[in-house]
A and B are shown apart, each in its own frame.
Chain A
């Protein structure tokens, strides 16, 4: 048993994808703060977040759709290795930042990737407290 952290990727991809679909379906599904999240966003920021999300979806152009696909793909890829509860934390946290910052889709994708990595670090520490030993050490 050398490492588990890369074996969770397929499962994480499925769950992460499901969470992503929920998140894209609109604010509210995943808006409640995760217990691990340091602090819930103030109500006015949650409103701003919702407005931003709705506004973004009110531009149904073909170009927009392609852009969404790219962004969504990047987000799904970033969330894929995470267990579902951790992916949820990432999306909650990203939503809080988007509510407070002017952030385009590209920036949002980058933010999700960054937060996913932060969370991945926690997952590794939680599931694999030590790096694998040299399997063939003399």
Chain B
């Protein structure tokens, strides 16, 4: 009881700290202001506690920045003045303040203006309202004539959503500050969204069988990740995507027996979304699965024949299909109060100690090295308290000395998504490049309002989009992620989602794929960057001098020229070839700067790339595979 009280007080205090208005934080223009002792002349404001914890961990300032970028974002980017190579106490102050800001901003759904502008150019169709998409898709289905441009465009809008996610991960941490583009390196909102969307995995294609079920799923989750876990759970459980994916639209209690006709959602709600264990673990039993499923009867999606207003929820509770009597789940009785009963049951499950433990274990595994996870999970449980406020939980999990120690530094393997995005970021995509490309391609938001366009206009704009560099680049990045994952993103069939531990993907083929990432990502990024003179970016040209001092340089040259047939960087479509320049080579070196990976090829040139398990043994030295 006393421990619970203490936890509640701690959680309340943390909440109050999060709610307090943030003071002005350090700007990028103050990054160099260190005194003779190397101490930044600007002190942290909102991130004062973060700063204390960070510096107590013992990492160097460069390691702090790299660690923050790699673990709380998608890897360091060379864009802007906040660079690992020039890190000092001011950059650590910056990280502390920015971390405080990003934790407090969890749940914000509005993109920064520059990203919105870039999105209009790179992925303009994602700006469509769902109602427009649905109306156009219906026309498309009713009209088999290929020139139904509005319908085609609407379809493109829906399929662009996963590409939008990649866009936010690659450049979502970049913003303009007094006309200077800075990558703040941390991207906690997208890291958390990836975690939650994988925790509440749905296959969007299945969801779209029914009532446009996938619309708004990710955006809604993005808006709910700053509240309590109970509210996030309830929000997700009301989403048509989840209801359709786990078949609860087909769950109704038999009017005679009261039995639920489908237990899929009820079972996964217990085993995956909340308690984290199967019935055999003893926390709950099959009778509880059946009772939960019965309570979920009538928890449904709007019928096809019911008009759905713009922005309206697709959820409906149909009391006729519900169970008419009280039901007991894990010892708690839930009277037949209709929709409110489901909400009460979800709150009970969200607040259960097993749920707290399961979610904290998952969060700890995402952020901590194996040896540090148990203590991190315990800290998470304390921060969770009885309310489960997710901002407090994230803060409690990360605002610890242990997170910022050498024992936790570069100890986790990147998942395929993280790896591809990290390599893209390492090469240096710029938000301003996307904005420039938007202007160059003549793309603005206005022409893509489908209701105001003729078919010819839509087709013309569609052609312009497909010819635009940002679109090509991000589409290729997304496809690369799909290949690395082994299945299309957001179309992971099992409800367990994909393994977030990169080690689960290790195989000779995966390593083979990874070994070519620098090259294959550089090609689409050549589309993204309108510039041809990559040497303009000094960071990109910061060659690893040590590399050239080793024999492995010859290995790399051999690898590029002989194994990869590189006299050119070839566009995957085959339409364009770009001469391999020193700048390309520099990019590759920056990505795979560790020599040992390439040395394998020098030592075993006849083995070839695939199925060379020795590459796997050398993997631990490949810098970009670690976060």
Interface residues, chain A, CB within 8 Å of chain B? 1-3, 5-7, 38-39, 41-42, 45, 74, 77-78, 81, 96-97, 99-101, 103, 107, 110-111, 113-118, 120-122, 124-125, 130-132, 134-138
Contacts and interface: CB of A to CB of B under 8 A. Distances in A.
Interface of B: 138, 140-142, 144, 146, 152, 155-156, 159, 205, 208-211, 244, 249-250, 252, 254-257, 261, 300-306, 316, 318, 320-321, 324, 462, 466, 472, 475
A136 B205 CA distance: 18
Contact of A116 (B303, B316, B462): B303
Contact of A38 (B254, B318, B472): B254
B146 A110 contact: no
Contacts of A99: 255
6 contacts: A96-B255, A100-B256, A114-B320, A116-B303, A125-B209, A135-B146
A1 B252 CA distance: 34
A38 B141 CA distance: 32
Nearest to A99: B255
B152 A134 contact: yes
A79 to B, nearest CB: 9
Nearest to A133: B155
A69 B300 CA distance: 27
Contacts of A77: 305
A41 B256 contact: yes
B305 A97 contact: no
Given A96-B255, A117-B305, 6 more contacts: A74-B305, A113-B306, A116-B304, A116-B305, A121-B244, A132-B140
Contact of A114 (B146, B152, B210, B300): B300
B244 A131 contact: no
B320 A97 contact: yes
Contacts of A78: 303-305
Nearest to B251: A118
A6 to B, nearest CB: 5
Contact of B256 (A42, A117, A125): A42
B304 A117 contact: yes
A39 B254 contact: yes
Contacts of A125: 209
Given A121-B249, A136-B152, A97 B255 contact: yes
Contacts of B305: 74, 77-78, 113, 116-117
A134 B462 CA distance: 13
Contacts of B303: 78, 110, 113-114, 116-117
Contacts of A122: 250
Nearest to A96: B255
A107 B205 CA distance: 31
Contacts of B244: 121
Contacts of A118: 249-250, 252
B209 A101 contact: no
Contacts of A39: 254, 256-257
A113 B318 CA distance: 11
Nearest to A119: B250
B320 A135 contact: no
B255 A114 contact: no
A134 B163 CA distance: 15
Nearest to A79: B305
Contacts of A74: 305
A21 to B, nearest CB: 19
Nearest to B316: A114
Given A96-B255, A103-B320, A111-B321, A117 B144 contact: no
Nearest to B573: A138
B528 to A, nearest CB: 16
Contacts of A132: 140-141, 155
Contacts of B320: 97, 101, 103, 107, 110-111, 114
A136 B250 contact: no
Nearest to B149: A136
Contacts of A103: 320
Contact of A124 (B156, B210, B252, B254): B210
A121 B321 contact: no
Nearest to B255: A100
Contacts of B462: 136
Nearest to A130: B205
Contacts of B141: 2-3, 5-6, 132
A135 B256 contact: no
A117 B255 contact: no
Most B CB contacts (10 A, CB to CB) among A1, A120, A138 go to: A138
B138 A6 contact: yes
Given A2-B140, A96-B255, A121-B209, A134 B156 contact: yes
Contacts of A38: 254, 261
B318 A81 contact: no
4 smallest CB-CB distances across A and B, nearest first, come from A100-B255, A117-B303, A113-B303, A3-B141
